[in-house]
Structures are given as C-alpha cells and as structure tokens.
C-alpha cells in the first residue's frame, strides 16, 4: 500500500511538471510512455483514463517488470478506494505481456486472454460471470480460429464443443462434436459427420450408460 501511495504521488508530480520543454525534448519517449500507460490494448488496461493508476512489478528478480496492474479509483473523494481492473503478465521474460486478466468494478474476474505460443496473438479466452468461470475458448493450432469451447458449471467443466472440420467462421460458430463430462470424465460424445449441425453418431461411456439405465434405488454404492 505504501508503494501505491508513493506511486500516486509520483504520478501527480509528473502531471504537474508537464512543461512544453519536456514535450519537445523527446516526442518518442512520450509516445513510448503513452503506450506503456495504455497497456496491451484492452480499454480497462488503459491507465491514461481518468481516475486510474498503474504500477509495474518485477516478480522474477531480473529487474524487468513482468507484471503490470491498473487500478480504478472508486467512490467519493475522501473515502475512495483503488480496485484492480486489469492485470497483465509477461511469462517468458521478454517484456511482452502474454496473460491479460480483466476485472469488473468490484474486482471480480471478467475475462482472461492468453497468448500461449508467444506469437502476439491471443489463443485462449476465459470468460467469467459473477467472478466464476463459465467458458473457455481455445485456438488449438494457433491459426487464429477457435476450435474448442469448454463450458463450466459451478467451476467444473460440464461440456465441450469442438469444430473438428473447421466449418466455423468469425460470425458463426459451427461445432461438429459435443462432449459431456461427469466427474472429470467424458461420458457422452456426439459427432456430426455430414455438417448439418445434427449428431450422426453417439458414443457413450459404457459404465456411465449402465448407471443411467439402472433405477436410482441406492446411492450408497456410488464411489463417485
């Protein structure tokens, strides 16, 4: 907290001393600073917006900042507080940010975007509702198109949709494989073979199928 307080003082002093001579001095440096303040591009990572502060941290010990946080000032002057709304992280030490998590005004997770192969393009999206994970989307082969969506229920994967044939367009998600999970296992899988969005073949886990067919007379024998 002391560090934050110090940072806000430093940024206030910085604003006050923006003389014309400084601006002329190095437009390039200013542009670079501006880019740093805007972050990776998400509007909530942009610390140039009013009532925002950003700070950078070196968590790996190589003197290069690898985590950047943006805070929004919430509440009335005098009783305001800082809420974390963006966290950007560099995971391979090259200074670029590969993991960006966005938070709502209550500090709950909204979204996380990850560039897993460090090519500058996001290939994994995680979507949250009320701070809980509800969906993940994956570009599995890093070609810029989503192949897999996993849906979550109470924090656990409940089903997946896959576009195996690559029929999806940016405007339309066209999966051809539907998988249903139970206790961390795939218990049921439907495949659309001819692309009409209807399942042509169902595969079911034999044990799960048996358990579904049995009358639910006892739960004592269940081992989960």
Q: Which residues bind Ca ion (CB under 5 A)?
A: 115, 117, 119, 121, 123, 139, 141, 143, 145, 147, 192, 194, 196, 198, 200
Nearest approach in angstroms of CB 210 to Ca ion is 27
Q: Which is nearer to Ca ion, 73 or 96 (CB)?
A: 96
Q: Which is nearer to Ca ion, 66 or 192 (CB)?
A: 192
Nearest approach in angstroms of CB 13 to Ca ion is 39
CA distances from 106 to 49, 81, 110, 205 (A): 18, 11, 10, 42
Nearest approach in angstroms of CB 99 to Ca ion is 11
- Four-point Cα dihedral 143, 191, 127, 173, nearest 10: 60
Nearest approach in angstroms of CB 194 to Ca ion is 5
- CA gap 2, 7 in Å, rounded: 9
Q: Which is nearer to Ca ion, 73 or 116 (CB)?
A: 116
Q: Which is nearer to Ca ion, 55 or 124 (CB)?
A: 124
Nearest approach in angstroms of CB 141 to Ca ion is 5
137 forms beta bridges with 125, 149
Q: Evaluate the CA torsion angle 176, 180, 185, 189 in order and state its sign.
A: negative
- CA gap 43, 50 in Å, rounded: 12
Q: Which is nearer to Ca ion, 115 or 161 (CB)?
A: 115
Query: What is the gyration radius of the CA atoms in the chain, in angstroms?
Result: 24
For residues 110 and 116, is the Cβ–Cβ distance under 8 A? no
């Amino acid at each position: 907290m002391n560090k934050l307080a110090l940072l806000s003082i430093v940024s206030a002093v910085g604003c006050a001393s923006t003389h014309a001579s400084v601006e002329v001095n190095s437009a390039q440096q200013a542009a670079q600073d501006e880019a740093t303040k805007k972050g990776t591009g998400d509007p909530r990572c942009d610390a140039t917006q009013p009532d925002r502060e950003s700070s950078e941290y070196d968590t790996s010990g190589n003197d290069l900042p690898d985590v950047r946080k943006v805070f929004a000032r919430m509440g009335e002057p005098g009783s305001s507080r800082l809420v974390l709304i963006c966290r950007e992280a560099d995971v391979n030490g090259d200074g670029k940010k590969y993991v960006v998590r966005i938070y709502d005004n209550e500090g709950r997770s909204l979204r996380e975007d990850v560039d897993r192969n460090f090519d500058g393009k996001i290939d994994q999206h995680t979507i949250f509702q009320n701070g809980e994970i509800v969906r993940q989307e994956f570009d599995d082969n890093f070609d810029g198109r989503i192949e897999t969506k996993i849906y979550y229920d109470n924090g656990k994967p409940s089903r997946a949709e896959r576009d195996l044939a690559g029929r999806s367009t940016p405007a339309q998600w066209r999966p051809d494989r539907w998988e249903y999970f139970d206790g961390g296992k795939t218990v049921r899988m439907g495949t659309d073979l001819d692309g009409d969005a209807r399942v042509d073949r169902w595969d079911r886990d034999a044990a799960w199928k048996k358990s579904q067919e049995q009358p639910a007379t006892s739960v004592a024998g269940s081992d989960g």
